[in-house]
Amino acid sequence: MVLIDILISGLILGGMYALVAMGLTLQYGVARILNLAYGEVLIASAFATYVLYTGFAISPLLGLLIVLPLAFAANWLIYRVMLTPLVKRARNRVTLEIDSILATFGLLFVLQGIAFVVFGGQYYSYSYLSVPLHLGGSIVSVNRLLALGFAAALGIALYLALTRTRSGTAIRAVAVDPTSAQLVAINVRRVAGFAFALGGAMCAAGGVLTSMFLTFNAAMGVVFTMKALIVVIMGGVGNLLGALLAGLLLGLIETFVARLVDPGLTLAANFALFLAVLLIRPQGLLGRRAS
Amino acid sequence: MSALRYDWSTLLIAGTLALLALVPFSGDGYHLSLGIGILNYLVLATAWALFSGTTGYISLATSAFFGIGAYAAAALGEVLPWPVVLLVAALVGAAVAFIVGLSTLRLSGIYFVIFSFGLAELIRQLVTWYEVNVAGSVGRYVFLDISHTAIFWQLFALAVAVFVIGFLIYRSRLGLALRVIGEDEVVAQHCGINTARAKLMLFVLSAVFMTLTGTIMAPRWTYIDPAIAFNPLISFQVVIMALLGGAGLLYGPLLGVVPLVLLFDLIGAHFPNYFSILLGLIFIVIVYGIPKGIAGLLPLEQPPAAMLAAKADPGVLDIGYANAPKADSHPLLAVSGLSRAFGGLRAVDDLSFAVDRGAIVGLIGPNGSGKTSALNLISGLLKPDRGDVRFDGAPISGLRSDHIVKSGIARTFQLVRVIDDLSCAQNILAAIAWRAQPQWGAAAWREALVWLDRVGLKEQADLPAAKLTYIDRKRLELARALALQPKLLLLDEWLAGLNPTELQSGIALIASLRRDGVTIVMVEHVMDAIRSLCDRCVVMNAGRKIADGTTTEALASPEVIRAYLGEDDA
């Protein structure tokens, strides 16, 4: 029974990681911005959902309709105002990566500071559809399953949009080679801004959905950023299916360690996995080797 | 001639330290604790910049080492004599840095940043887990009889040590190597620098300083727990301070530490709730406004004394190549069965050829036929899937580039790679300092000027490479390759893109190299050059060798004509 328990919780957690990491892989793989303030966006949307639900009685799922467009707009603004100057002055990809790491590192502290001022350091949670459901001999609450369902739907929608539509193809072209993408009349900067905003919206979705069943506080963003980064690199930068696979793997291993070894060692397990993948396959599980 | 007399940066460091040394005598507790704060960050930021500022590997792991040091003090302070505690802390910090560096520094920079970002968190979790499950409580009390004045003087000694060691490194050949690594790691490897070892050494060294700072600072708190010791804010502030000051220079962090510690003290006292917001904003302003730091705005950098000495007395220097061609039975370079695929594309497919001593061999073929990949396999930039490369009788396939360089193979790149931020002479100096028979100091500068003269760049010796024209960049790259004193020189389309006059002088230059006894393999498309220079040609198409013989024979082969011009003209 413990095994099924671990499997179900692990998949739910892993699904969340995969969703969040898909957003980050859009930001990093397409817009080439390594966003260290990524987790703060997640926490911000979790707080927004909390306020909407406890203050205005708007259910989290309905809240998605409010939070996602807001997050999209906010991330687009961040890209336009804060990151475009860095893109313009970058000599090459490496300098842009370092500049963006530093700038978003500053943003992390600003956003985290605001969250502390508004909400303080304590943990928050709310109860929404926490109805137990029997599933193959183990008990899962409905909100978790719902969160997983929505995550899967969003992930599939994103995947189809990227592979089946014209703008999706443009995004993938920029991910592979920004210089060549320009040669076929793709406006790289606009596509990059769009991808960054879309990534931020995916992250916000992750925040809304995780807030349905996890407690959170103002300081937790960093942990989510770390995990999303680990998943993105493990899966192969810019690779959505890789992010899905790596996300699920991370969720399973984390739940496994938390249940059977010690909850205090989950991050250590994450890092061990991350390091192992980096050393054996630096290009990621599904990434292609750069020539 | 005293180099120090003119050196403003040394004056700046010495002056700041001298002023700080007066602080304990003011007898004011507040000033003392501010002085401790400044020294604390001075050591951390300078140590950080020693590694991250030069190599460009941004480390966010300062708090990991600081915390290790603090915990060493908390755990051992009451058991062992203080000097032993310091020693143990330094060793533990070095060991952790060694393991982390060994496993992450050979990866590209970005992975290192991410890993260092999480390292502090990881160690914090492990320590918390240990304290809760094994030691029985999260926090520890630190009851050590060490006064604040004693803490101050220990930190002061540490600051002096970090500046002295930093000074020695910046003016050593290791310092130059780190700057080259920070700009272009491939070039560094092709100058003969063992980049992994250089990075690891500096990472460990900087970690030892950070760890010791943590140990010395620990007695300031009477109680520590993992959240205090491994506070990520420490890493963050160190990066801000170093960047504000300028991370590329020894005295850079100092210019950031002093104003920011005072500012943070002010913010902490008046707006404690908004501390992290203001901190973040300051940081963003610095990243946008002064990317090179305050030091970048001050013209303090002085020309090295060794260079001045070399210019004052150029002397007569007989430079040669370590390799007069000797009659020998085996060829200088023998490639057999060399193969490398990228995914499904077989870039180099079962390639075999030999190069005799003193010869110029053309490696030619249509675009995309695998010529550059073949050069990359020989120079160690790529590892072969199969096959064997023997140089001077010894197998070299699979070795690192710096090994291959030291065994006597130098190269130029198809897309010219020189270090833009360094002067032309320094570009050459890197090669002279790290080749098989290295030189350093005035002798090395003298030699660098000679090599520059050899390719016609003597006048530009002090110019940053970024300012050179295209042809001059190519010349500089060739001079760097020659300064490695190679037995074999690999040229990758060195003559491409030159105008007719430049082409003639380029061809003459290569011909003169042959007279000096250098063996050359050249990838080339310029037929005039191939006909006038090459004794033999190896022709490739789609990764395979399709012809190999004297230049006239090879170019006349029907298969070669078919490859270049298509079926109809064959």
DSSP line for B2-43: -TGGG-HHHHHHHHHHHHHHHGGGG--HHHHHHHHHHHHHHH
Find the residue in A nearest to B53 (Cα).
Answer: A98
HSE, CB side, 13 Å, CA atoms: give it for residue B167: 14
DSSP state of B467: G
Residue A226, chain B, CB below 8 Å: the answer is yes
Give the pLDDT of residue B397: 86
Give the pLDDT of residue B328: 60
Region of B542 (left: φ > 0; alpha: ψ -120 to 50; beta: rest) is: left
Residue B135, chain A, CB below 8 Å: the answer is no
Identity of the residue numbered A78 = I
Mean pLDDT, rounded, for A68-97: 87
Place of tokens 């957003």: A23
pTM for this prediction: 0.84
Q: Given an 8 Å threshold on Cβ–Cβ distance, is A106 in contact with B109?
A: no
pLDDT(A90) > 70: yes
Q: Given an 8 Å threshold on Cβ–Cβ distance, is B343 in contact with A114?
A: no
Distance from CA of B281 to the nearest CA of A (A): 7
Distance from CA of A83 to the nearest CA of B (A): 10
Q: How many CB pairs under 8 A join A and B?
A: 121
B38, B261 contact by CB (below 8 A): yes
Q: Which residue has the higher pLDDT, B43 or A243?
A: B43
Residue B99, chain A, CB below 8 Å: the answer is no
pLDDT(A187) > 80: yes
Give the pLDDT of residue A176: 82
pLDDT per residue, tens digit, chain B (570 aa), is 334 445 778 888 899 999 999 988 987 888 999 999 999 999 999 999 999 988 888 888 899 999 999 999 998 988 899 999 999 999 999 999 999 888 877 766 677 877 787 788 788 888 888 888 888 777 888 888 888 899 999 999 999 999 999 999 988 999 999 999 988 889 999 999 999 899 999 999 999 999 999 999 999 888 888 888 888 788 888 988 888 888 888 888 999 999 889 988 888 888 888 888 888 888 888 888 887 778 777 765 666 777 777 777 766 565 655 555 455 667 899 999 999 998 788 889 999 999 998 899 999 888 888 899 999 999 999 999 999 999 988 899 888 999 999 999 999 998 889 998 889 999 999 999 998 888 888 888 889 999 999 888 888 888 888 889 888 999 999 999 999 999 999 999 998 888 888 888 889 989 988 888 899 999 988 888 898 899 999 999 888 988 888 888 888 888 888 888 776 655
Q: What is the ipTM of this complex?
A: 0.80
Which of A27, A98, A109, A229 would you mutate first to test chain B, the one with the most B CBs within 10 A? Answer: A109
CA distance A216 to B525: 63
In angstroms and rounded to an integer, the radius of gyration of the C-alpha atoms of chain A is 19
Distance from CA of A117 to the nearest CA of B (A): 7
B541, B554 contact by CB (below 8 A): no
Smallest Cα–Cα separation from B338: which of B490, B481, B544? B544
Give the pLDDT of residue A87: 85
B501, B472 contact by CB (below 8 A): no
**DSSP one-letter string for B271-336:** -GGGHHHHHHHHHHHHHHH-TTHHHHHS------HHHHHHHH---------S------SS-SEEEE
Facing residue for B111 by CB, picked from A89, A278, A289? A278
Buried b (16+ CB within 10 A) or exposed e, B402-430: bebbbbbbbbbbeebbbbeebbbbbbbbb
Distance from CA of A276 to the nearest CA of B (A): 10
CA B138 distance to own-chain centroid: 41
Q: Given an 8 Å threshold on Cβ–Cβ distance, is B280 in contact with A288?
A: no
Facing residue for A97 by CB, picked from B103, B110, B275? B110
B457, B475 contact by CB (below 8 A): yes
Structure tokens, B263: 């500012």
N- to C-terminal Cα distance for chain B?
71
Contact list in A for residue B122 (CB cut-off 8 A) is 267-268, 271
Long-range CB pairs of A89-98 (<8 Å, 24+ gap) are A89/B291, A93/A32, A94/B56, A94/B109, A96/A32, A96/A33, A97/A32, A97/A34, A97/B109, A97/B110, A98/B56, A98/B58, A98/B109, A98/B113
Give the pLDDT of residue B321: 55
CA distance B86 to B397: 45
Q: Which residue has the higher pLDDT, A71 or B514?
A: A71
A178, A187 contact by CB (below 8 A): no
Give the pLDDT of residue B299: 65
Give me the torsion for CA of B394, B399, B401, B405, rounded to 10°. Answer: -20
Facing residue for A265 by CB, picked from B114, B129, B280? B129
Which of A35, A86, A102 would you mutate first to test chain B, the one with the most B CBs within 10 A? Answer: A102
Residue B138, chain A, CB below 8 Å: the answer is no
A262, A268 contact by CB (below 8 A): no
Find the residue in B nearest to A291 (Cα).
Answer: B342
DSSP state of A140: E
Residue B284, chain A, CB below 8 Å: the answer is yes
Contacts of B61 (CB under 8 A, 6+ apart): B100, B116, B117, B119, B120, B235
CA distance B350 to B361: 19
Is residue B105 classed as helix, strand or coil in its secondary structure? coil
Distance from CA of A64 to the nearest CA of B (A): 28
DSSP state of A287: P
Angle between helices B424-434 and B442-454 (to 10 degrees): 120
Angle between helices A93-119 and B275-289 (to 10 degrees): 160
Smallest Cα–Cα separation from B494: which of B524, B466, B517, B531? B524
Contact list in A for residue B275 (CB cut-off 8 A) is 113
Q: Given an 8 Å threshold on Cβ–Cβ distance, is A113 in contact with B274?
A: yes
Give the pLDDT of residue B35: 93
Give the pLDDT of residue B3: 42
Residue B280, chain A, CB below 8 Å: the answer is yes
Give the pLDDT of residue B2: 39
- Other CB atoms within a 10 A radius of the CB of residue A34 amount to 25
Residue A102, chain B, CB below 8 Å: the answer is yes
Smallest Cα–Cα separation from A11: which of A229, A244, A219? A244
Q: Given an 8 Å threshold on Cβ–Cβ distance, is B132 in contact with A264?
A: yes
Distance from CA of B282 to the nearest CA of A (A): 8
Structure tokens, B120: 């502090």
Residue A261, chain B, CB below 8 Å: the answer is no
CA distance A194 to A73: 10
Give me the torsion for CA of A85, A91, A97, A103, rounded to 10°. Answer: -30
State phi, psi for A26 to the nearest 5 degrees. -65, -45
Distance from CA of B370 to the nearest CA of A (A): 13
Burial class of residue A76 (count of CB atoms within 10 Å of its CB; 0-12, 13-18, 19+): middle
Q: Given an 8 Å threshold on Cβ–Cβ distance, is B287 in contact with A102?
A: yes
